[in-house]
Protein backbone atom coordinates (compact mmCIF):
# COMPACT_ATOMS: atom_id res chain seq x y z
CA UNK A 1 0.00 0.00 0.00
CA UNK A 2 1.25 3.49 -0.83
CA UNK A 3 2.37 5.34 2.30
CA UNK A 4 0.60 8.53 3.31
CA UNK A 5 2.06 11.81 2.08
CA UNK A 6 2.01 13.14 5.64
CA UNK A 7 1.93 10.88 8.67
CA UNK A 8 1.91 11.97 12.30
CA UNK A 9 2.47 9.25 14.89
CA UNK A 10 1.92 10.26 18.51
CA UNK A 11 3.42 13.64 17.61
CA UNK A 12 3.64 15.82 20.70
CA UNK A 13 5.22 19.04 21.90
CA UNK A 14 5.53 20.27 25.46
CA UNK A 15 6.82 23.77 26.13
CA UNK A 16 8.24 23.65 29.65
CA UNK A 17 5.24 22.05 31.36
CA UNK A 18 2.61 23.13 28.86
CA UNK A 19 1.43 20.34 26.54
CA UNK A 20 0.80 22.43 23.42
CA UNK A 21 0.31 19.40 21.12
CA UNK A 22 -0.76 16.05 22.57
CA UNK A 23 0.19 12.81 20.78
CA UNK A 24 -1.43 13.51 17.41
CA UNK A 25 -2.10 10.65 15.01
CA UNK A 26 -3.10 11.62 11.49
CA UNK A 27 -2.53 10.55 7.89
CA UNK A 28 -2.98 12.79 4.88
CA UNK A 29 -3.22 11.07 1.49
CA UNK A 30 -1.50 12.11 -1.71
CA UNK A 31 -3.56 14.75 -3.50
CA UNK A 32 -5.57 15.64 -0.41
CA UNK A 33 -6.15 19.19 0.79
CA UNK A 34 -6.45 19.00 4.56
CA UNK A 35 -7.65 21.95 6.59
CA UNK A 36 -6.28 22.14 10.11
CA UNK A 37 -8.72 24.25 11.99
CA UNK A 38 -8.60 25.52 15.52
CA UNK A 39 -8.99 28.56 17.73
CA UNK A 40 -6.06 30.76 18.78
CA UNK A 41 -3.46 28.83 20.73
CA UNK A 42 -4.87 25.40 19.79
CA UNK A 43 -1.51 24.11 18.51
CA UNK A 44 -1.73 24.62 14.73
CA UNK A 45 1.56 26.45 14.21
CA UNK A 46 3.38 24.17 16.65
CA UNK A 47 2.18 21.14 14.67
CA UNK A 48 3.17 22.62 11.30
CA UNK A 49 6.61 23.57 12.61
CA UNK A 50 7.18 19.99 13.80
CA UNK A 51 6.04 18.65 10.41
CA UNK A 52 8.37 20.96 8.50
CA UNK A 53 11.46 20.26 10.59
CA UNK A 54 11.54 23.65 12.31
CA UNK A 55 10.59 22.61 15.83
CA UNK A 56 11.74 19.37 17.38
CA UNK A 57 8.90 17.24 18.77
CA UNK A 58 9.04 16.23 22.43
CA UNK A 59 7.94 12.76 21.31
CA UNK A 60 6.45 10.91 18.37
CA UNK A 61 7.32 11.13 14.70
CA UNK A 62 6.43 12.98 11.51
CA UNK A 63 6.88 11.44 8.08
CA UNK A 64 6.72 12.97 4.61
CA UNK A 65 6.23 10.36 1.88
CA UNK A 66 7.42 7.75 4.36
CA UNK A 67 10.59 9.70 5.25
CA UNK A 68 11.04 10.78 8.88
CA UNK A 69 11.65 14.54 8.77
CA UNK A 70 13.67 14.47 11.97
CA UNK A 71 15.79 11.41 11.10
CA UNK A 72 16.34 12.27 7.45
CA UNK A 73 15.70 16.03 7.23
CA UNK A 74 17.41 16.84 3.93
CA UNK A 75 15.65 14.08 2.01
CA UNK A 76 12.27 14.95 3.52
CA UNK A 77 12.72 18.69 2.98
CA UNK A 78 13.37 18.17 -0.75
CA UNK A 79 9.72 17.16 -0.97
CA UNK A 80 8.11 19.99 0.95
CA UNK A 81 7.48 23.71 0.90
CA UNK A 82 6.23 25.87 3.73
CA UNK A 83 4.46 29.22 3.71
CA UNK A 84 4.51 30.54 7.29
CA UNK A 85 1.96 33.02 8.58
CA UNK A 86 4.69 35.68 8.71
CA UNK A 87 6.93 34.93 5.70
CA UNK A 88 10.58 35.70 6.30
CA UNK A 89 11.57 37.36 3.04
CA UNK A 90 14.67 39.30 2.01
CA UNK A 91 13.60 42.94 1.75
CA UNK A 92 16.51 44.00 -0.45
CA UNK A 93 15.74 41.40 -3.12
CA UNK A 94 13.21 41.95 -5.86
CA UNK A 95 10.35 39.48 -6.13
CA UNK A 96 12.04 37.91 -9.14
CA UNK A 97 15.41 37.67 -7.36
CA UNK A 98 13.69 35.94 -4.45
CA UNK A 99 12.11 33.33 -6.73
CA UNK A 100 15.47 32.85 -8.48
CA UNK A 101 17.10 32.34 -5.05
CA UNK A 102 14.53 29.68 -4.12
CA UNK A 103 15.08 27.98 -7.49
CA UNK A 104 18.85 27.91 -6.91
CA UNK A 105 18.40 26.27 -3.49
CA UNK A 106 16.29 23.55 -5.12
CA UNK A 107 18.64 23.37 -8.14
CA UNK A 108 15.84 23.99 -10.63
CA UNK A 109 17.09 24.37 -14.24
CA UNK A 110 16.94 28.00 -15.43
CA UNK A 111 14.44 27.59 -18.29
CA UNK A 112 12.14 25.49 -16.12
CA UNK A 113 12.35 28.12 -13.37
CA UNK A 114 11.59 31.01 -15.72
CA UNK A 115 8.41 29.56 -17.14
CA UNK A 116 7.21 28.44 -13.70
CA UNK A 117 7.98 31.82 -12.10
CA UNK A 118 6.23 33.76 -14.87
CA UNK A 119 3.19 31.51 -14.61
CA UNK A 120 2.94 31.96 -10.82
CA UNK A 121 3.51 35.72 -10.94
CA UNK A 122 0.72 36.01 -13.48
CA UNK A 123 -1.71 33.93 -11.41
CA UNK A 124 -1.15 36.21 -8.42
CA UNK A 125 -1.11 39.47 -10.44
CA UNK A 126 2.49 40.22 -9.46
CA UNK A 127 4.07 40.33 -12.92
CA UNK A 128 4.36 44.11 -12.98
CA UNK A 129 5.93 44.25 -9.50
CA UNK A 130 8.36 41.37 -10.06
CA UNK A 131 11.32 43.75 -10.40
CA UNK A 132 10.44 45.90 -7.39
CA UNK A 133 12.18 45.39 -4.05
CA UNK A 134 10.25 43.20 -1.63
CA UNK A 135 10.53 45.96 1.01
CA UNK A 136 8.14 48.00 -1.13
CA UNK A 137 5.52 45.23 -1.18
CA UNK A 138 2.31 45.36 0.84
CA UNK A 139 1.60 42.59 3.36
CA UNK A 140 -0.63 40.80 0.85
CA UNK A 141 2.01 41.06 -1.90
CA UNK A 142 4.61 39.60 0.45
CA UNK A 143 2.24 36.76 1.22
CA UNK A 144 1.75 36.14 -2.49
CA UNK A 145 5.46 36.17 -3.37
CA UNK A 146 6.04 33.72 -0.49
CA UNK A 147 3.38 31.44 -2.00
CA UNK A 148 5.00 31.79 -5.45
CA UNK A 149 8.36 30.91 -3.87
CA UNK A 150 6.90 27.83 -2.20
CA UNK A 151 5.34 26.61 -5.44
CA UNK A 152 8.40 27.32 -7.59
CA UNK A 153 9.99 24.05 -6.50
CA UNK A 154 6.82 22.09 -7.36
CA UNK A 155 6.71 20.42 -3.91
CA UNK A 156 5.00 17.09 -3.27
CA UNK A 157 3.66 18.45 0.00
CA UNK A 158 2.80 22.07 0.76
CA UNK A 159 2.31 23.39 4.29
CA UNK A 160 0.57 26.72 4.72
CA UNK A 161 -0.08 28.58 7.94
CA UNK A 162 -3.07 30.93 7.65
CA UNK A 163 -2.44 31.44 3.90
CA UNK A 164 -5.36 33.73 3.18
CA UNK A 165 -4.60 36.31 5.87
CA UNK A 166 -3.73 39.52 4.05
CA UNK A 167 -4.98 38.35 0.66
CA UNK A 168 -7.69 40.29 -1.17
CA UNK A 169 -10.72 38.27 -2.35
CA UNK A 170 -9.40 37.90 -5.94
CA UNK A 171 -6.05 36.58 -4.72
CA UNK A 172 -7.76 34.26 -2.25
CA UNK A 173 -9.84 32.85 -5.11
CA UNK A 174 -6.72 32.44 -7.29
CA UNK A 175 -5.06 30.58 -4.43
CA UNK A 176 -8.06 28.33 -3.92
CA UNK A 177 -8.31 27.47 -7.63
CA UNK A 178 -4.58 26.87 -7.94
CA UNK A 179 -4.42 24.62 -4.87
CA UNK A 180 -7.37 22.60 -6.16
CA UNK A 181 -5.66 22.13 -9.53
CA UNK A 182 -2.32 21.20 -7.94
CA UNK A 183 -3.99 18.72 -5.57
CA UNK A 184 -5.86 17.18 -8.50
CA UNK A 185 -2.40 16.67 -10.02
CA UNK A 186 -1.10 14.92 -6.90
CA UNK A 187 0.24 17.63 -4.60
CA UNK A 188 -0.78 17.32 -0.94
CA UNK A 189 -1.68 20.40 1.09
CA UNK A 190 -1.79 20.83 4.86
CA UNK A 191 -3.34 24.19 5.54
CA UNK A 192 -3.95 25.74 8.92
CA UNK A 193 -6.64 28.31 9.47
CA UNK A 194 -8.86 29.64 12.19
CA UNK A 195 -11.35 30.88 9.61
CA UNK A 196 -14.15 28.36 9.32
CA UNK A 197 -15.32 29.41 5.87
CA UNK A 198 -11.83 28.95 4.44
CA UNK A 199 -11.73 25.35 5.61
CA UNK A 200 -15.25 24.73 4.40
CA UNK A 201 -14.63 26.21 0.96
CA UNK A 202 -11.15 24.91 0.23
CA UNK A 203 -10.56 21.59 1.93
CA UNK A 204 -11.28 17.92 1.22
CA UNK A 205 -11.12 17.04 4.90
CA UNK A 206 -11.02 19.13 8.00
CA UNK A 207 -9.29 18.31 11.27
CA UNK A 208 -10.27 20.37 14.28
CA UNK A 209 -7.57 20.85 16.89
CA UNK A 210 -8.42 22.12 20.33
CA UNK A 211 -6.05 22.41 23.28
CA UNK A 212 -3.52 20.26 21.44
CA UNK A 213 -5.90 17.39 20.59
CA UNK A 214 -7.58 16.52 17.30
CA UNK A 215 -11.19 16.46 18.42
CA UNK A 216 -12.83 15.93 15.02
CA UNK A 217 -11.65 14.79 11.60
CA UNK A 218 -13.52 14.15 8.39
CA UNK A 219 -15.03 15.54 5.22
CA UNK A 220 -17.51 18.34 5.64
CA UNK A 221 -20.30 15.86 4.97
CA UNK A 222 -18.95 13.52 7.63
CA UNK A 223 -18.60 16.33 10.17
CA UNK A 224 -22.11 17.51 9.43
CA UNK A 225 -23.60 13.99 9.63
CA UNK A 226 -25.08 12.23 12.64
CA UNK A 227 -25.54 14.42 15.65
CA UNK A 228 -24.44 17.46 13.66
CA UNK A 229 -27.08 17.25 10.89
CA UNK A 230 -28.24 20.66 9.76
CA UNK A 231 -25.44 22.49 11.50
CA UNK A 232 -22.99 24.85 9.86
CA UNK A 233 -19.30 24.24 10.35
CA UNK A 234 -19.37 27.22 12.68
CA UNK A 235 -21.96 25.48 14.91
CA UNK A 236 -19.89 22.30 14.88
CA UNK A 237 -16.69 24.17 15.60
CA UNK A 238 -18.20 26.05 18.51
CA UNK A 239 -19.82 22.92 19.88
CA UNK A 240 -16.69 20.79 19.66
CA UNK A 241 -14.39 23.43 21.04
CA UNK A 242 -16.87 24.00 23.85
CA UNK A 243 -16.97 27.74 23.34
CA UNK A 244 -20.30 28.16 25.03
CA UNK A 245 -19.59 31.76 25.84
CA UNK A 246 -19.11 32.44 22.14
CA UNK A 247 -22.25 30.50 21.30
CA UNK A 248 -24.17 32.60 23.77
CA UNK A 249 -22.76 35.75 22.24
CA UNK A 250 -23.66 34.59 18.74
CA UNK A 251 -27.20 33.63 19.67
CA UNK A 252 -27.55 36.91 21.53
CA UNK A 253 -26.48 38.79 18.42
CA UNK A 254 -28.69 36.77 16.06
CA UNK A 255 -31.71 37.12 18.35
CA UNK A 256 -31.43 40.86 18.61
CA UNK A 257 -34.74 41.29 16.83
CA UNK A 258 -36.40 39.64 19.83
CA UNK A 259 -34.72 41.91 22.34
CA UNK A 260 -36.64 42.29 25.52
N1 LIG B 1 7.85 29.10 21.98
C2 LIG B 1 6.86 28.85 22.84
N3 LIG B 1 7.09 28.77 24.16
C4 LIG B 1 6.10 28.50 25.02
N5 LIG B 1 4.82 28.28 24.66
C6 LIG B 1 4.52 28.36 23.36
C7 LIG B 1 5.52 28.65 22.37
N8 LIG B 1 4.92 28.65 21.14
C9 LIG B 1 3.63 28.39 21.37
N10 LIG B 1 3.38 28.21 22.68
C11 LIG B 1 2.08 27.88 23.29
O12 LIG B 1 1.61 26.67 22.71
C13 LIG B 1 0.21 26.74 22.45
C14 LIG B 1 -0.06 26.51 20.97
O15 LIG B 1 0.45 27.61 20.24
P16 LIG B 1 0.39 27.66 18.64
O17 LIG B 1 1.14 28.87 18.20
O18 LIG B 1 0.81 26.36 18.09
O19 LIG B 1 -1.18 27.86 18.41
P20 LIG B 1 -2.01 28.21 17.08
O21 LIG B 1 -3.12 27.22 17.00
O22 LIG B 1 -1.10 28.29 15.90
O23 LIG B 1 -2.60 29.64 17.46
P24 LIG B 1 -2.94 30.96 16.57
O25 LIG B 1 -4.18 30.65 15.79
O26 LIG B 1 -3.19 31.98 17.63
O27 LIG B 1 -1.73 31.25 15.72
C28 LIG B 1 -0.26 28.09 22.97
O29 LIG B 1 -0.74 27.91 24.30
C30 LIG B 1 1.02 28.92 23.00
O31 LIG B 1 0.98 29.88 24.02
Long-range CB contacts for residues 128-131, cutoff 8 Å, separation at least 24: 129/95, 130/94, 130/95, 130/96, 131/94, 131/95, 131/96
Express each pLDDT in 219-237 by its tens digit.
Answer: 888 887 766 666 666 777 7
208 is a domain residue:
yes
What is the C-alpha separation between 128 and 19, in angstroms, rounded? 46
Quote the number of domains for the chain: 1
Report the range of poorest mean pLDDT among 48-62, 74-88, 211-225. 211-225
Atom of ligand 1 nearest to the CA of 212: 14
Instruction: Kindly give the distance from the C-alpha atom of residue 85 to the centroid of ligand 1, in angstroms, as a whole number.
Output: 13
pLDDT of residue 240: 65
The CA–CA distances, whole Å, from 129 to 41, 84, 118, 124, 137 equal 35, 22, 12, 11, 8
SS3 161: strand
Q: 3-class DSSP state for residue 208?
A: strand
- Is the model's pLDDT at 69 over the cut of 70? yes
Ligand 1 is surrounded, with C-beta below 6 A, by: 15, 18, 20, 38, 40-46, 194
Mean pLDDT of the chain: 87
**Inside any domain, residue 186:** yes
ipTM above 0.85, yes or no: yes
Indicate which atom in ligand 1 lies nearest the CA of residue 43.
Answer: 18
Residue nearest to atom 9 of ligand 1 (CA): 46
Return the ligand 1 atom nearest residue 194 CA. Answer: 25
- 148 within some domain: no
What pLDDT, on a 0 to 100 scale, did the predictor assign at position 200? Answer: 82
Looking at the domain assignment, is residue 135 inside a domain? no
pLDDT score recorded for residue 251: 54
Q: Which structural domain range is residue 194 located in?
A: 6-79+155-258
Is residue 75 a part of any domain in this protein? yes
What whole-number distance in Å separates Cα of residue 231 and Cα of residue 250?
14
- Rounded to two decimals, the pTM is 0.88
Does residue 13 sit within a domain?
A: yes
Q: Is residue 61 part of a domain?
A: yes
Does 176 reside within a domain? yes
Q: What CATH number does the domain containing 172 carry?
A: 3.40.50.300
Amino acid sequence: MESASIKLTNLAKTYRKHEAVKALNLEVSKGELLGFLGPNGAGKTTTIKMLTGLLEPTSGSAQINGIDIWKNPLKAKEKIAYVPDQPNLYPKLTGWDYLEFVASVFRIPKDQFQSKANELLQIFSLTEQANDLIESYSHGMKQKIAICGALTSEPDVLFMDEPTVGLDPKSARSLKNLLRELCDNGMTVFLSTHILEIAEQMCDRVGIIFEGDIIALGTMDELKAGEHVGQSLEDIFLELTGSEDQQAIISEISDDGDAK
